[in-house]
Amino acid sequence: MKSAEGKMDYLRSFVLAVFSIVFVFPITNCAADIAAGGIGSSNAPTRVLVMGEDSNPLSISRGDNVFKRVLGELKNSMLRKGYTIVDEEMIATTLDWEITDRRPKTELIQVAKMANESDDANLRTRVMAIFSIYATKKGLSFTQKVTTRLEGELYDSVTNKFLGSFELPKATYPAPKDCNDVCMNEVVGEKAREIATSLGDVLAKKLKLMEAASTGSGFGAGSSNLKTTYTITLKHFSTKQNFLFMKGLKNAPGYSSHETMSKTSAVRKYSYETASSTSDLEESILENLMELEFDLDNDVDINITGTKIILENLRME
């Protein structure tokens, strides 16, 4: 028989074991998830703006029902792949502009730029996907053959970089011999879901590859780990302060590379490429300034607009 004291020790051990299973292990696993970029991580899904380019008169117009069905299913497909889709019509409503048919690619790029320059963070995106839909018919002796083709391009709407192009293989469908334009529209429309799902899969795979090609940590919401090139201007910093400041940023999370763009006695300008978000880069900048013993409220003026960062030393000589 166990003594009373031995039974109490056994009971205490049992209670501690249960407590560890119920409370400690879940907390540890949660911490591991956070460290790996899971719960509460800033590695948020890339925000994507999908737009159709219909400036070519041979392409299907934006106002066409086929276009709308493809666009709707495409957005849904990419949403299922884990991307955040920003709707162009919501942007247009918020910023009070009109969406018209047959717009050139330059106008679509301007839309993305204006959205990213707005004060509403919900309108901002990192990647712009531009696509076009083509459909043709060819008459045969016993039927008609309808052929569809889908092509497009990906752009980084923050850095202006061309990220790649995509194209789906041509698809051919039979149509009635007397099939007119309305009939062809219906034939292609019936295949819209299949077309868009395939396109969404292609886009998602391309973006995943681009994200995997970048390394770093501290990625910001909506930017995933796509790299951004910032222009950092330092005004009235000594040579030593410039050296130590940029050396600190070289060790910051997500750092990729930097180059000196220009240098005068009072102003130095750098290009700085990183996979970190603007907020994480700002945090690194503030830490470096504090390491250099700057009073952040009185000794330095910090201006951040988009990818342009200007730091001015306000200390009197």
Last residue of a domain, one of 157, 180, 213: 213
**265-308 pLDDT per residue, tens:** 999 999 999 988 899 999 999 999 999 999 999 999 999 998 99
**88-135 pLDDT per residue, tens:** 998 999 988 888 999 999 999 998 998 988 888 889 999 999 999 998
* Cβ atoms of residues 307 and 159 within 8 Å: yes
Higher per-residue confidence, 29 vs 285: 285
Q: Are residues 205 and 253 in the same domain?
A: no
Q: How confident is the model at residue 225 (pLDDT cuts 50, 70, 90)?
A: low
Any idea what the CATH number is for the domain that residue 72 is in?
3.40.50.10610
Strand order of the β-sheet with 84-86 is 84-86, 47-52, 127-139, 144-156, 162-175
25 domain-assigned = no
Closest of 294, 203, 226, 218 to residue 251, by C-alpha: 218
Q: d(Cα 268, Cα 260) in Å, to the nearest integer? A: 8
Q: d(Cα 250, Cα 121) in Å, to the nearest integer? A: 28
Instruction: Look at residue 178 in the predicted model and tell me its pLDDT.
Output: 85
Given a cut of 70, whether residue 14 has pLDDT beyond it is: no
- Total residue count of the chain as it appears in this document: 317
- How does the average pLDDT of the chain come out, rounded? 82
**164-181 pLDDT per residue, tens:** 888 888 888 888 888 887
Given a cut of 90, whether residue 48 has pLDDT beyond it is: yes
Q: Are residues 131 and 202 in the same domain?
A: yes
Q: Are residues 154 and 242 in the same domain?
A: no
Q: How confident is the model at residue 6 (pLDDT cuts 50, 70, 90)?
A: low
Q: Are residues 299 and 267 in the same domain?
A: yes
Q: What is the DSSP-derived secondary structure letter of residue 23?
A: I
Q: d(Cα 69, Cα 181) in Å, to the nearest integer? A: 17
**Neighbouring C-alpha atoms within 13 Å toward the C-beta of 172:** 6
Tokens of 20: 């560890």
pTM of the model: 0.72
Given a cut of 50, whether residue 32 has pLDDT beyond it is: no
Domain of residue 249: give its range: 228-313
Q: How confident is the model at residue 222 (pLDDT cuts 50, 70, 90)?
A: very low
> Cα 260 to the chain's mean position, in Å?
27
Closest of 166, 198, 181, 172 to residue 70, by C-alpha: 198
